Amino acid sequence: MLVARDVPEDGPAEAGSRRERASRRTVRRSGDSGREHYFTANPTAPARASVVTFQAGGREFRLRAAGGVFSAERLDPGTAVLLRKAPLPGPATEGTLLDLGCGYGPVACVLATLAPRATVYAVDVNSRALELTRANADQLGVDITACGPDEVPAELRFAQIWSNPPIRIGKPALHALLRHWLARLAPDGVAWLVVARHLGGDSLAAWLRDEGHDVVRHASQQGYRVLRVRRPRGPGGAG
């Protein structure tokens, strides 16, 4: 079971509603420093420490977070849906797993804890997020390589990619990000993505299909879509 509370930064809201505008302001503040985003490389927002507690895969997690990092006060409800609905790896899982856009590391920490035989990478552009992910891995006694996107060895291919992707970076940047990393799925690899419907979950699924990926809406809960994505079929793809 997985417990998550509160309203998300990227949670359900009708387009243009008061709630959505308030949500945008929350994201912009991302601490208390004017227009800083959660995907700022070196946040200047006060690193006010927080602790995020949740359950996933039958385990309790108590992770460090801080201002200037995505959803530092509670497990993001989209991430909660992803960890509840997608099939988590287990003790027999091997290969390399990627948490794309790791934040303070909730997904990577769950993967590394439940799948100790796997190699787990956690990637983010926010240096504070990477520091927190490393600290959380140390505290849990698990191995996670938390690094910037350019530090991942180019030859690595991933058995699984997990992501609550950074929708707020804008569609062109998001598409470039997903193109880059999904191309690095192993031939039989699988990606699990969660996207809020009001932030374009369904149009993202359609775009991924247009790109030739095999996309299934695996689950839908609380306004979030959990997408299962596989490599394109045909030359260079899975099939």
Ligand X SMILES: C[S@@+](CC[C@H](N)C(=O)[O-])C[C@H]1O[C@@H](n2cnc3c(N)ncnc32)[C@H](O)[C@@H]1O
Tokens linked to 7: 């309203």
For residue 126, the minimal CB distance to ligand X (Å) is 4
Which region, judged by CB under 6 A, interacts with ligand X, from 53-61, 95-103, 131-139, 227-235? 95-103
Q: Nearer Cβ to ligand X, position 38 or 205?
A: 38
Binding residue for ligand X (CB under 6 A) from 13, 81, 112, 129? 129
User: Is the Cβ of residue 36 or residue 76 nearer to ligand X in the bound state?
Assistant: 76
Q: Which secondary structure element, helix H or strand E, spans residue 138, and what is its range?
A: helix 127-140
* Interface with ligand X, residue 77, by CB under 6 A: no
Q: Is there binding between residue 45 and ligand X (CB under 6 A)?
A: no
Q: Which residues of 3-42 are buried (b: 16+ CB within 10 A; e: fewer)?
A: ebeeebbbbbbeeeeeebeebeeebebbbeeeebbbbbee
By the rule CB under 6 A, 227 interacts with ligand X: no
C-alpha radius of gyration, the chain, whole number: 17
The count of residues interacting with ligand X (CB under 6 A) is: 21
Q: Which helix (H) or strand (E) holds 64?
A: strand 59-66
Choosing from 11, 38, 133, 223, the residue that interacts with ligand X (CB under 6 A) is 38
**What would the two tokens of residue 195 be?**
């996207």
The residue (of 74 and 218) whose beta carbon lies closer to ligand X is: 74
**Least Cβ distance, residue 150 to ligand X (angstroms):** 10
Residue closer to ligand X (CB basis): 11 or 189? 11
Residues, the chain: 239
Q: Burial-class residue 211 by CB neighbours within 10 Å (0-12, 13-18, 19+).
A: middle
Shortest separation between residue 1's beta carbon and ligand X, angstroms: 18
Nearest residue relative to ligand X (C-beta)? 101
70 binds ligand X (CB under 6 A): yes
Contact between 230 and 218 (Cβ < 8 Å): no
Residue 139 CB, shortest distance to ligand X, in Å, is 17
Cα 229 from Cα 215, distance rounded (Å)? 5
166 vs 223, which CB is nearer to ligand X?
166
Cβ-contact 187, 231 below 8 angstroms: yes
Residues of this chain that bind ligand X (CB under 6 A)? 38-39, 70-71, 76, 79, 101-103, 106-107, 123-126, 129, 149, 164, 166, 169, 177
